[in-house]
Amino acid sequence: MVHKGQNGLFDALTTKGTAFTREERAELGLLGLLPYAVKTLDDQVAHTYQEFSRRRDDLDKHIYLRALQDRNETLFYRLLAGHVEEMLPIVYTPTVGEACERFSDIYRRPRGLFVAYPDRGRLREVLRNRPNRDVDVIVVTDGQRILGLGDQGIGGMGIPIGKLSLYTLIGGIDPARTLPVVLDVGTDNVERLEDPNYLGWRHRRIGDDEYYAFVDEFVTAVREELPEVLLQWEDFATPHALPILERYREEMLTFNDDIQGTAAVTLGALQGAARVAGRPLAEQQVVMLGAGSAGIGVLEMIRQEMVAQGLSDAEAAERIWVVDIDGLLTDDRTGLSDGQRRFAQPAERVEDWDGTGLADVVHRVEVGVLLGLSTAAGAFTEEIVREMAGKTDRPIIFPLSNPTSRAEAHPRELDEWTDGRALVATGSPFAPVERGGKARRIAQCNNVYIFPAMGLAVTAARATRVTDEMMRVAARTLGEASPALADPAEPLLPAWEDVPEIATRIATAVAVQAVKDGVAPEMSEDEVAEAVRRTRWTPEYR
């Protein structure tokens, strides 16, 4: 629908701004509302990039881009598409972390839905107030575990906004068919509660009984209002994340990106690394530092892949070691979640060890893969890394914690401590590492390799569920695109400028798998590929 006059000029989804032609201005009642000059979209991109480049710091650049998105979505995405590598860290991690912390300070215009606990009993009304009727993808958070920054309350809304920007930029989801949501159930962040500018419900977080009832009311409203929508859970705290996923994954089209998306992108990078190392994943000893929902999700997908490579469940479990703040997870420990207990080693297996910390595990086990999702900065020490590197020719080391300040190690250190032999992927962006006079780009295990493709796949295929095999197919397809397979000196994951094309490839493979799994209507592979192509939105003026 094309609006006329002021309404059309200020509709961010359809406006062309100064690119409206003279004929369009006359037809749409815009004469006199714009300066006389008519610009092209490319002219506008050049101008906005110049303005972006003048901003003094990353947060200022983030604010500028969000304002541009509020003003003209087509121009916003066209600008990002021409500068993916430069702008991805500004729109999303790591800059989005500071934007979440400062959300109430930098708030300008509403975007999405703020679903507050005091409005319980009226959530269908809240959903009906959504800006656009037809929605393909919802990203929802409760703001409790924002990156490695903890509870940000309503400030967590920055995450769904940023995430959905990438669904569009990388996955081609029509921005008019996306909806960011924050569940405002209070915050335990005293700094937020005492901040006079804080825009959320000024209340401590509600208890679990009230919390799960509220989540259930929200999901019920979504299913009634938007029964075919993809609902993605984002940045929920460990005690809530997996129970919520398990509660709803068989009832609706849903997944948790921290659990499943992180797992898929990590597995994709691992598969490339394992092939470069010349040792299949099923033959590796894997150590994970961090036993939160993201870490357990990664290990669950690794376990499934090991089984797919021929191991039994028990054999796969024997090769996986999980360390948290209290040491190695063992079956005699109390207070473990069901997910953690699946990876707890038999206590008798380590009864003669002097300790069960990370250094002890690396000392006692022939570790080939070391992963970190702990937010414990510097936890991969020189001593630990050098000992690991003494046991394997190509140590695979992934410090995956966000933001950069929480990384378990920096790539430059890992390169130095392993004499350039380490196969490295990180969770945050890092500068290239210099070795032998050549700058080597560091792969970032950013979920953007996976979740936009999942959104495109399920939308194109009209899937009703997200299966484990769909996620593993996404990981395998990403692993097959690893530049390191052609040249071991290259990074483990594709360059950012190639990600939209890779996303289309992943989406097609996932959609084909959805048909095979019986969760999407019957289509041939050619029909799937055409559906994916037809679904992609591109930032062009209509």
Q: Which residues are catalytic?
A: 92, 163
Q: Which residues contact 415 (CB under 8 A, 6 or more apart)?
A: 422, 424, 433, 435, 440
Helix crossing, 158-171 with 73-81: angle to 10°? 70
7 annotated ligand binder: no
Residues forming beta bridges with residue 115, ordered by sequence position: 183
CB distance 502 to 170 below 8 Å: no
Residue type, 86: E
189 annotated ligand binder: no
72 annotated ligand binder: no
CA separation for the pair 148, 529 (Å, rounded): 37
CB distance 77 to 536 below 8 Å: no
449 vs 297, 339, 404, 468, 499, CA distance in Å?
Answer: 17, 25, 19, 17, 7
Report DSSP letters for 268-314, one per residue: HHHHHHHHHHTS-GGG--EEEE--SHHHHHHHHHHHHHHHHTT--HH
313 annotated ligand binder: no
- Based on the number of CB atoms within 10 Å of its own CB, is 133 exposed (0-12), middle (13-18) or buried (19 or more)? exposed
305 annotated ligand binder: no
129 annotated ligand binder: no
317 phi and psi, to 5 degrees?
Answer: -60, -35
CA separation for the pair 157, 151 (Å, rounded): 12
Q: Provide the Cα torsion 299, 302, 306, 311; round to 10°.
A: 10
Q: Name the 3-class secondary structure at 379.
A: coil
CB distance 347 to 331 below 8 Å: yes
Chain-centroid distance, C-alpha 369: 22
Other CB atoms within 10 Å distance of the CB of residue 146: 27
Binding site residues, as ranges?
Answer: 145, 234-235, 258, 402, 446
Binding site residues for a divalent metal cation, as ranges?
Answer: 234-235, 258
